Amino acid sequence: MRNENPLITVIIPIYNIMDCLERCVSSVCAQTYRNLEILLVDDGSTDGTGALCDRLAERDGRIRVFHKENGGSSSARNLGLQKARGEYLGFVDSDDFIEPDMYERLMEQVKAGGYSIVQASRDEIDENGQKRADVCTPPEKVTFLSGEAFLRELLLHRGDCSFCTKLTARSLFGEKRFPEGELNEDFYLLVELLQETEGVCILPQQLYHVYYRMGSNTRRKERNDFSRVFVDIVKNADYVQVIVEEKYPALQKEAVRFGLYQRLDYLLHIPVGLMVREDSFYTAVKKYCRRHAADTVVSPYLTAKQKVYLLLLSAAPKTVRRLHGLTMRARGV
């Protein structure tokens, strides 16, 4: 007989996060869905966070702690996948926190529809405790999207690719793992899983709270910083372009739009000093934009402003970036 309350494994990758970890773990321990195991994967912390993990485990018998050499978030998550005992998997980033009923609500939808992926909506909370503008607009009611329809939302930057907002059947992963040494790794693995599942059920309630602060992997602290994430998002665009060509030809225009948008993001963040011919990746980005100039003009999914920037950056990238920088400084950004 199927377990009416199957075990959920919640995997929390952890690295040097003393100030946020207790809030995060407490929010998971307080879940109204009680059949949980909570895996704290200490990824080689050097600030005492590893010892804090051990102390937290003493408070709740559902917590198991694993200490490993530093290898990045994907490496920590993959160790969690290896050690997980649950029938369903959840992930929480160690600086975020969740509502007490998140996993109960997600599991209710799993039982109701037999879904292999169920997603809560999310919001972002800044360092002052203020809610930021929504990155992903929650649906008005519980909504199911097929795998192809969900992928389309991702390509239009309307979907949520994070595994942290999701409850996922462990069987869906099989031998698939998060790519190590990459940023924005959720996108890559989720696109793989979408090809194996019927789709995603999305809840309207914002049950997952992202803690937004400067200095994370994807946010710049200094004007001249250039995060590797901007390279990885272009690689993801190339990866999904191949998937679309092979399996979802109806999404070709959306995939090209995604590739252009990701490259626009790259070109607007790379420091001017790094925009050199010797950089083969930068050169390839320019060539893609120039090759798809016609697609840029006719795309129904790009704004007029985005089209102008893409065309100008394709023609005179350094000049446009310098002017863009002057404009941003004049606006105090």
Give me the pLDDT at residue 158, please. Answer: 96
Query: Taking a C-beta distance cutoff of 8 angstroms, is the pair 150, 159 a contact?
Result: yes
Query: Taking a C-beta distance cutoff of 8 angstroms, is the pair 83, 10 a contact?
Result: no
Can you point out the beta strands (E) in the chain? 8-14, 36-43, 63-68, 88-91, 97-98, 117-125, 143-146, 166-169, 199-211
Give me the pLDDT at residue 218, please. Answer: 43
Q: Say which residue the tokens 């709270």 belong to.
A: 209
Terminus-to-terminus CA distance in the chain, angstroms? 59
- In the predicted model, residues of the chain with pLDDT beneath 50 are 1, 216-221
Give me the pLDDT at residue 329, please. Answer: 66
Strand partners, 14: 42
Query: Taking a C-beta distance cutoff of 8 angstroms, is the pair 153, 194 a contact?
Result: no
What are 333's two structure tokens? 């950004």
CB-neighbour burial class of residue 108 (10 A; exposed 0-12, middle 13-18, buried 19+): middle
Query: Taking a C-beta distance cutoff of 8 angstroms, is the pair 127, 210 a contact?
Result: no
The one-character DSSP state at 36 is E
Render the burial of 114-134: b for 16+ CB within 10 Å, e for the rest.
ebbbbbbbbbbbeeeeeeeee
pLDDT tens digits for range 267-299: 999 999 899 999 999 999 999 999 999 999 999
Query: Taking a C-beta distance cutoff of 8 angstroms, is the pair 220, 268 a contact?
Result: no
What are phi and psi for residue 269, nearest 5 degrees?
-115, -25
> What is the pTM for the complete model shown?
0.91
Give me the pLDDT at residue 331, please. Answer: 65
Give the Cα separation of 56 and 187 in Å (integer).
31
Give me the pLDDT at residue 40, please. Answer: 98
